Structure 1
Amino acid sequence: MVRSRAQAARLRLMIPGNPEPSEAEWQALGQAHWRGDPLADAVIDWMQAEGMDRTWPRLEAALAQGLSAVDPQDHALRAYLQATSVTPPWLDAARVRRGAEVLQTTGLHGMMVLRDAGLMAGYQASAINQTLVQTGALHGGAHKRVAETAAWWLDCTADDGMALGANGHRQTLRVRLMHALVRGRLQRSPQWDANWLGLPINQVDMQATYLAFSVVQLLGLRMTGMLISRSDADAVMHLWRWIGWLMGVEDALMCDDEATGRVLLYRNVMGQAPADHTSAQLAQALMDEPLSRPYPWAQALRGHIDRERHLSLVSWFVGAQGMRNLGLPQRAPWYPLMLLAPTAAGSLALRALPFLETPWRAVSRWQQTRFHRHMVREPLAHEAGAEVTGGAPARKR
């Protein structure tokens, strides 16, 4: 608890007022470690009972074509699609679209921030790391994990990507079922220490993922000079509340505004197990991930430059103690400091001249999709084995 509170100390400085949970709120968070996702778990139970070879094609057809493709006898699958083919009463489609547009304007830098503030910094939560470790992902490829995460994020943040039946919507439902598959596998594993870890991929873990993609990325963007209005930040929060809802995160564990999200993040971090040896193992693998990127030219040089850029960003986000927690070499924050002035100037230009946003967003989105196209080219040989449950399926942090 003391070490977890220390990890949350930097975040505490960014929250006005008192974010400390009441005794009842603390107890509720503890109980959430024992709740999973019954709706998705029922689908996996049905698939395993009927045989994965027989049911997987039916699942894929259902995700592609909707309820019309579901056999009336496949009750669990029908219930899953019925529940996720409607929108909750609080959903505002215009805010969802705006949230996606805001993230599109962040360009390649936004994806770097998500990787280093969300995924890398998140490895300090050692209990969550156990999902990756015990499914063999630690010995697979960080490159593949990042590429799959980027692919899912791009689908979710596309124009109308989270509309019912769109790519982001379908991929999110697929990711949710992969979480359930991993949850069931780990529950049956004698290596899983439930007394310490709670339920595999429990509601607190799922909340952490939701917060990493929303609150953590917004914080990281602000820390590198990006000026985001409250309405735009809250639109991003609304987008991820919708995605989190589809992912099976209980609505009581989410929110619609960044200020409340920071409080939820602070409490989540305090409730996580502190960094351990798995934090260093995962972080060091991700540190070297740029060396495996299939750049179209000057691969070795660009890989080492990007490795240093990421280390500089991570140092800025987590501080000296965080770098020690992650077993990473400390770097001066030269890269984020170099970005502060031009990033802030660009943000001010968009506010002062709103007609610039459309072309700016088009160029920024091109940067994001181009980066991903390079990522999915054949990686270097030592990354080729990549993990079964990396990135989106197992732990998107």
Structure 2
Amino acid sequence: MHLAEAEARFGGFATTYVDGMWRGDDLADAFVTDFATLGHGRAMRLLRQACRDGIDAVPDAPASLRALFAQLDDPPAWVDLAAIDRASAHIGRYTRQSGIVLGAASLVSGYANAAASRPLAMTGRYVESAGARTIEVSSWLVEVTRSGGLERFSVGFELTVRVRVIHALVRAALRDDPAWDLPAWGLPICQSYLAYTLVEFALIPLRGLRTIGAPYLPHEEAAAYARWRYLGHLLGIDEALLPTDRAEQERLEEIYLLTRPPVDDFCRDLVASINREFLVAEIEELLPSRPSRLRTIAPPVVHALERLFLGDDLADELGIPAAARTLRLLERTGPVLGRLNSGLDRITPLLGPRARRGERYRVKQDTRLRRRYGVQHDLVDASPAGGVPHPARGA
């Protein structure tokens, strides 16, 4: 775990981070404990009603649900959602590039830690379909990043609260499972790894977008870190681990990479799975149908993108094949596209039309992906019965 090196580099934060590996979310975990008496279906209905109408509209709400919403209904003084929305009005102009980065950087980077990603396999989320889970994540991201997406009675707020409770349901199901190695892996979906997901959805995407020539403006980057700080609060991340800005996300990434378990075959199998089942197929969709030989370049494009985003050392650990020629091409085109897009970004009247074009592309892609993978729900708790059993689905 390199604990001594972590303490030398990060001081007291190292202790906070390591302790966080054995801590969950007290408020959400207490509510999930009450599922045994409430019943899964009724508990989730109460949760949704509290999200949509307020906790006072739930007269039979258990004390655990009231305690959870006492925290959710008390936004911290530092959050300014209106300012975040104003600064983020045109980020949709890079929708196409954001999808690439989400798949090849954000999701894949999380698979370098077997302890953090193992709940996905133990709950069947990759046996069932990598595509389905990616659509679920995208559904949530679309709602929480749109204007007004984190207001108290927004869809994004409700989805985030449901994600928090889904985490607690998975934690409750796995922590006593004999297959879960608590001393080696810590608590399932622990505080420290939950905090790192903010890095996966802010620092890593922003860095990846710059790399492929789609840089956000400085005020947009600042707003992204502010948005994810508040999302972390809603997800139940402790203030001591909640990163406030880019520098603190970089610190969190460094200690995560330093202390993570070694990459093993489980990690490599996850990466191979998402590449085979989802990413390669999606790159093929972007290529002309003829000549068919063009489709043979899809795998090296995916591998080159992953190496570009993750670096060769981590890519080697994860068993991502080399794609030297394609990687060199991406490395050369990124700066060129960056200069072009930076110039376009300075033409203020073009920002709105570009963002609207990006939104039209997003809607079209969402429709296509849902049709292709047969997904009509938003999150796994709303997915149809009959699939692989999952703690969020109930009986």
Q: Gaps spanning 5+ residues in structure 2: where? A: 376-383
The 1-side partners of 2:263 and 2:306 are apart by: 15
Is residue 177 from structure 1 mapped to residue 171 from structure 2 by the alignment?
A: no
Contact 1:43 1:76 in 2 (8 A): yes
Write the mapping of 1:1-397 to structure 2, written as runs, cut at 5 A. 1=1, 20-22=9-11, 24-98=12-86, 100-101=88-89, 103-288=91-276, 289-290=278-279, 298=289, 306-332=298-324, 333=327, 334-335=329-330, 337-351=332-346, 353-379=347-373
Q: Given residue 316 of structure 1, which amino acid in structure 2 is its aligned partner? A: L
Q: How far is the alpha carbon of 1:204 from its aligned partner?
A: 0.7
Task: Evaluate the alpha carbon distance shift between residue 210 and residue 304 of structure 1 in structure 2; reply closer, same or farther with a 3 A threshold.
Answer: farther
Secondary structure at the aligned position of 1:226 is classed as coil
Q: Deviations over 1:10-49 (max 9, x none)?
A: xxxxxxxxx9312x22122111111110111111111222
Q: How far is the alpha carbon of 1:211 from its aligned partner?
A: 1.2
Q: Given residue 228 of structure 1, which amino acid in structure 2 is its aligned partner? A: Y
Contact 1:290 1:303 in 2 (8 A): no
Greater RCO, CA 8 A, separation 6+: 1
Q: Given residue 203 of structure 1, which amino acid in structure 2 is its aligned partner? A: Q
TM-score (norm 2): 0.85
Contact 1:104 1:157 in 2 (8 A): no
The 1-side partners of 2:298 and 2:340 are apart by: 24
Contact 2:280 2:302 in 1 (8 A): no
Contact 2:120 2:126 in 1 (8 A): yes
Q: Please provide the CA RMSD for this pair.
A: 3.1
The 2-side partners of 1:144 and 1:170 are apart by: 20
Task: Evaluate the alpha carbon distance shift between residue 132 and residue 257 of structure 1 in structure 2; reply closer, same or farther with a 3 A threshold.
Answer: same
Q: How far is the alpha carbon of 1:95 from its aligned partner?
A: 3.4
Task: Evaluate the alpha carbon distance shift between residue 109 and residue 361 of structure 1 in structure 2; reply closer, same or farther with a 3 A threshold.
Answer: same
Range moving further from structure 2, 288-297 or 81-90: 288-297
The 2-side partners of 1:205 and 1:232 are apart by: 25
Contact 1:295 1:374 in 2 (8 A): no
The 1-side partners of 2:72 and 2:200 are apart by: 22
Q: Given residue 153 of structure 1, which amino acid in structure 2 is its aligned partner? A: L
TM-score (norm 1): 0.85
Q: Given residue 163 of structure 2, which amino acid in structure 1 is its aligned partner? A: V
- Count of aligned positions: 375
Q: Deviations over 1:365-392 (max 9, x none)?
A: 22223222211114289xx9976669xx
Task: Evaluate the alpha carbon distance shift between residue 213 and residue 192 of structure 1 in structure 2; reply closer, same or farther with a 3 A threshold.
Answer: same
